[in-house]
Structure 1
Amino acid sequence: MWQPGWCLCSGVRKRSGLKRSSKAEASQRVTTRPRSRASTLGGEKAARKDSTSVILFCLPWAEPWHAPLGLSIVANKLDLLDIDYEIVHGNTDLYVRLKKRLGALANKVFEDGRVGELICSELLSGPDSVGSSDEVVIRQRLLREVGITRKQASVVVEELQDFFDDCFARFDLSQTLVCGFGLGIHQTVPSLVLGSRIKSRWPQVKIVFGGSQCSDPMGIALLEAYPWIDVVARGECDDSLGPLFSALITGSTLQDIPNVAWRSGSEIHLGPIKAVSAQAMGSPNYATYENSYEKISPNERPANFYVEASRGCWWGQKHHCTFCGIHANGLNFRSKNVDRVVDEIETLIQKHKTVRIAFSDTILGIDHLRDLLPHLQQIRSRFDVEFLADVKPNLSKQQIYALANAGFIAVQLGIESFSDRLLQRMRKGNRALQHVQTLKWFAEAGIGVHYNILTHVPDETASDYYEALALVRNVPHIHPPSGVFPIELNRYSPYFENWSNYGFEKPAPSTFYEGIFRKGEIDLDQFAYSFKGYHPSTKDSLIETARQNFISFVETNWTAGYPQSNFFYWLGPNRVFLAREGNSPLHKVLEGYSARIFLECDKVQSIERLLENADESDRRTRREEIERLVEEGILIQSADETHVLAVALRRLALRPAHIASWG
Structure 2
Amino acid sequence: MDVLTRSATPRTAVSPAPADTALISMPFGPISMPSIGLGLLSAGLASKEIRSRTLYFNLKFAGRLGTERYIRISRYHPPYDQIGDWIFSAALFGDDAEATQRYIDEILKGRTTAFREGHYTNRPYPDEHIEMLLEARRLAPAFLEECAAEVLATRPRIVGFTTTFEQNVASLSLARLIKEAAPETLIVFGGANCEGSMGQALVRHFPFVDVAVSGEGDTAFPLLAEQFLRDGTIPLFKSVSCQDARRRRSRQLMAQPAPPVVMDSLPFCEYDDFFEQVERYGVDAGEVHWIPFETSRGCWWGEKHHCTFCGLNGAVMTYRSKSDQRAFDELLYLTDRYPNRAVQVVDNILDNRYFKTLLPRLAELDQEFELFYEVKANLKKEQLRLMKRVGITSIQPGIESLSTEVLALMRKGISGIQNVQLLKWSKELGIDVQWNILWGFPGETAEGYAETARLIPLLVHLQPPASVPPIRLDRFSPNFDQAEQMGFRDVAPYPAALLTYHALPPEAVFELSYYFIYDQAHWDTALGYTRPVAEQWSRWQRLHPAADLFFVDKGSALLLWDLRDDAPDHRPVTVLDGARRLVYLGCDAIRTAASLSRDLGLEEGAVQAALDDLTSRGLMMREGSSYLSLAIPTGVYQPNARVLRRVEQHLQRVGVAA
Q: TM-score range by the shorter chain?
A: 0.7 to 0.9
Deviation at 1:411, TM superposition (A): 0.8
Q: CA deviation at 1:141?
A: 1.7
Please list every run of 5 or more consecutive structure 1 residues that lacks an aligned counterpart in the other structure.
1-39, 659-663
Q: Deviations over 1:317-339 (max 9, x none)?
A: 10000001024532100000011
1:554 aligns with 2:554: no
Given the alignment, which residue of 575, 581, 605 partners 1:620? 605
1:411-560 to structure 2, matched below 5 A, reads: 411-520=395-504, 523-540=508-525, 543-555=526-538, 557-560=539-542
Identify if the C-alpha distance between structure 1 residues 558 and 566 changes in structure 2 by more than 3 Å, giving closer, same or farther. Answer: same
User: Is 1:370 matched up with 2:353?
Assistant: no
TM-aligned CA deviation for residue 613 of structure 1: 8.7
Counterpart CA distance in 2 for 1:421 and 1:69 is 37
1:226 aligns with 2:206: yes
Match of 2:90 among 122, 137, 141: 122
In 1, the alpha carbon distance for the partners of 2:546 and 2:68 equals 37
User: 1:373-388 maps to which residues of 2 (within 5 A)?
Assistant: 373-379=359-365, 381-382=366-367, 384-388=368-372
Relative to 1, partners in 2 of residues 1:618 and 1:174: Cα closer, same or farther, differing over 3 Å?
closer
Per the TM alignment, residue 357 of structure 1 is displaced from its structure 2 partner at its CA by: 0.6
Using the TM superposition, name which of 530-539 and 637-646 deviates more: 530-539
Distance 2:246 2:194 in 1: 20
Tell me if structure 1 keeps the 8 A contact 2:315–2:476: no
Letter in 2 for 1:571: D
Q: Would you say the 8 A contact 1:53–1:85 is kept in 2?
A: yes
**Alignment match of 1:568 (pick from 550, 563, 585):** 550
User: Which residue number in structure 1 is paired with residue 120 of structure 2?
Assistant: none
C-alpha change, 1:196 and 1:609, in structure 2 (3 Å) is same
Deviation at 1:412, TM superposition (A): 1.1
Amino acid in the other structure paired with 1:233: V
Q: Deviations over 1:167-198 (max 9, x none)?
A: 24445448320111001122101001001001
Amino acid at match of 2:350: L
Shift of 1:611: 4.6
Compute the RMSD of aligned alpha carbons: 2.9
CA distance 1:614–1:468, shift in 2 (3 Å): same
Letter in 1 for 2:182: W
1:45–1:169 CA contact under 8 A, matched in 2: no
What CA distance in whole angstroms lies between the structure 2 residues aligned with 1:599 and 1:387? 31
- Structure 1 counterpart of 2:400, which letter? E
Aligned to 2:560: 578
CA pair 594-204 structure 1, distance change in 2 beyond 3 A: same
* Mapped pair 1:406 → 2:366: no
Equivalent residues in 2 for 1:211-360, closer than 5 Å: 211-257=191-237, 259-265=239-245, 271-274=255-258, 275-294=260-279, 300-327=286-313, 329-360=315-346
* Structure 1 stretch displaced more, 528-537 or 161-170: 161-170
In proportion to residue count, which structure has more helix?
2
Structure 2 residue aligned with 1:647: 632
Cα drift, residue 458 of structure 1: 1.2
Q: Structure 1 residues 252 and 210, CA, compared in 2 at 3 Å: closer, same or farther?
A: same
Worse-matched range after superposition: 198-207 or 622-631: 622-631
The SS at the match of 1:508 is: strand
Cα deviation digits, residues 126-152 of structure 1 (max 9, x gap): 225xx314x752464212234164532
Query: 1:267 deviation in Å?
Result: 5.5
Give yes or no for contact 1:258–1:273 (8 Å, CA) kept in 2: yes
> Relative to 1, partners in 2 of residues 1:88 and 1:153: Cα closer, same or farther, differing over 3 Å?
same
For 1:191 and 1:263, the matched residues in 2 are separated by 18
Q: 2:125 aligns with which of 99, 122, 147?
A: 147
3-state DSSP class of the match of 1:117?
helix
TM-score, length basis structure 2: 0.86
Partner Cα separation in structure 1 for residue 303 and residue 42 of structure 2: 30
| Structure 2: gaps of 5 or more residues | 1-7, 111-123, 644-658
Give the drift of 1:481: 0.3
What is the aligned partner in structure 2 of residue 178 from structure 1? 158
Shift of 1:548: 1.4
Contact 1:404–1:654 under 8 Å retained in 2: no
Distance 1:590 1:467, change over 3 A: same
Q: Which residue is 1:56 aligned to?
A: 23
3-state SS, counterpart of residue 588 of structure 2 = coil
Say which SS state the counterpart of residue 394 (structure 2) adopts: strand
